[in-house]
Amino acid sequence: MSTTQLSSAATPSTSSAQSPARSQRDSRRAAVGILIVLVGQLMLTLDGTIVTVALPSIGTGLGLGPSALSWIVNAYTLAFGGLMLTGGRLGDTYGRLRIFLIGLSVFTASSLLGGFAQIPALLIAARAAQGIGAALAAPGVLALVTTSARDDAARNRVLALFAAVGIGGSTLGLLLGGVVTEVGSWRWTLFINVPIGVAVLALAPRFVTETPRNPGRFDLIGALCATGAAVAVVWALIGAPEHGWASARTIGSLTASVALLTALTVTERRVAHPMLVPSMLRDRRRLGGLAVTTLVFGSQIATFFLVVQYVQRVLHFGPIAAGAAFLPMTIGIFAMARIAPKLVARFGQAPLLITGTLGLTASYVWLSNIDTTSGYVTAVLGPLLINGVSAGLTFMPAASLVMGGVEPRHAGSASGLLQTVQQLGGAIGLAVIVSVYTAGAVPGQFVPGARAAFLTTAAFTLVASTLAALILRPRRRTHADTN
């Protein structure tokens, strides 16, 4: 997407007294501001996968076993997923740019601290702090770019770019993680965030305009309930493959999450400025967008895990080649970022969601045919290209359903809600897929369990396609409607 297109998307409404030159200058400034905050989002997205590739090197360097290594990922996931709703609401209340900058500062400083860590505890603490910073910053990105759009078409353009940065950034993180690990040290998977973060922190206040604040007391009780519920469910999901779905840990965590969600529901009905506006969850189309997002993110995160394992364990790719294996997916996603807004304008959201999720289903079914004699070109390249194009068709209209119709003063909360279900979807997908893989695994062989796991991801997106068709179907006009 070009700067000219972003300028068009970000052009603020102007009075007749404003000169064309000033209007053009303001629109360019807004476009640069959008690009700056999206660079910040790209950094946050890269971090989700770049460290994962470096885990073997981290284990060797710090003498960590599998259990301790898992906490380098889990500490970030718990903090990020648990605090996203709170981060969105803080932005609505105290200013989205302000909270974005605070979160990015925490993330950047934590990256520097983690890069210098000499003991496991310090690295895990730094990763948790990174998750806190990301949870504060990420909701502000989506809220800032969507509220800068002047109309639905403009909002769809920035949503398409945001979606491309989200999933495309994850695949780029796999490649960069491989390059950094092979060429340098695992520490650079953390240090790489520092110059990017400093640049965004320096430029954002100059080009990004602060949004109006939503006055009122911050709902602390609601924030604690929402955070506790999200942390509890993520805790259950990350431990389920190891401890079992029927274990006391898993059931207890899920029960605690339900109890906290119930408390949140009761609390939100009684406060003047709720953490999560109840009306957001009464819209059938928004609920459909959230459900599709959860299922699709679950399938995509699971696919990252499975494909990385396959190309390294069966095809014997090194870290760089394993990251480069996802380039077809990345190309497909970014290509569709330019086309998807035009397709939505012409055909609507439902056809794109149905087509995209069916395309994802086809890609997973194709991947389920892998075997030990398959090659990358015949077994992986084609499905990943289809996957990227289909994901590009899916994410923008799904995000548009969630963010559409939201009052500007609640954009941060809606953004936090959307990105929370993305994180939960990823955690659900990975937990289910690892369980399915383990159940179907043959000792010493990767392929049997992976085939069953890929078919499970296909079931995820087939359900998403069905939901899109049912929930987004046009309402049948009644006699009362006609009158």
CA nearest neighbour of 363 among 400, 392, 398: 392
Whether residue 145 is found in the same domain as residue 243: no
Q: What is the pLDDT of residues 110-133, one digit of tens each?
A: 999 999 999 999 999 999 999 999
Asked if residue 11 is part of any domain, the answer here is no
The boundaries of the domain holding residue 376 are 26-218+273-473
Structure token pair of residue 351:
């056809």
Whether residue 139 is found in the same domain as residue 230: no
pLDDT of residue 264: 85
Decide which of 243, 272, 301 is a domain's last residue.
Answer: 272
Whether residue 389 is found in the same domain as residue 422: yes
Task: Give the residue-averaged pLDDT of 348-364.
Answer: 94
Gap between the Cα atoms of 462 and 362, Å rounded: 9
Whether residue 193 is found in the same domain as residue 328: yes
Q: Residue 471 — very low, low, confident or very high, per pLDDT cuts 50/70/90?
A: confident
Give, for 105, the enclosing helix (H) or strand (E): helix 96-115
pLDDT at 261 over 50: yes
Structure token pair of residue 475:
């309402």
Do the beta carbons of residue 181 and residue 54 sit within 8 Å? Answer: yes
Asked if residue 10 is part of any domain, the answer here is no
Whether residue 74 is found in the same domain as residue 119: yes
Whether residue 211 is found in the same domain as residue 325: yes
Q: How many Cβ atoms sit within 10 Å of the Cβ of residue 271? A: 14
Q: Is 259 helix (H, G, I), strand (E, B) or coil?
A: helix
Gap between the Cα atoms of 189 and 462, Å rounded: 35
Q: Which residue reads 């885990």 in tokens?
A: 55
Contacts of 80 (CB under 8 A, 6+ apart): 131, 132, 134, 135, 138, 423
Least confident of 69-83, 199-213, 352-366: 69-83
Number of domains in the chain: 2
Asked if residue 30 is part of any domain, the answer here is yes
Gap between the Cα atoms of 394 and 283, Å rounded: 19
pTM score, whole prediction: 0.83
Whether residue 241 is found in the same domain as residue 279: no
Return the CA Rg of the chain: 22
pLDDT at 472 over 80: no
Residue 21 burial class via C-beta count within 10 angstroms: exposed 0-12, middle 13-18, buried 19 and up: exposed
Q: What is the pLDDT of residues 164-207, one digit of tens each?
A: 888 778 888 888 888 888 888 899 999 999 999 999 999 999 99
CA nearest neighbour of 10 among 19, 407, 18, 1: 1
Whether residue 236 is found in the same domain as residue 212: no
The CATH number assigned to the domain holding 318 equals 1.20.1250.20
Contacts of 466 (CB under 8 A, 6+ apart): none
Q: Residue 8 — very low, low, confident or very high, per pLDDT cuts 50/70/90?
A: low
Residue with the bigger pLDDT between 133 and 273: it is 133
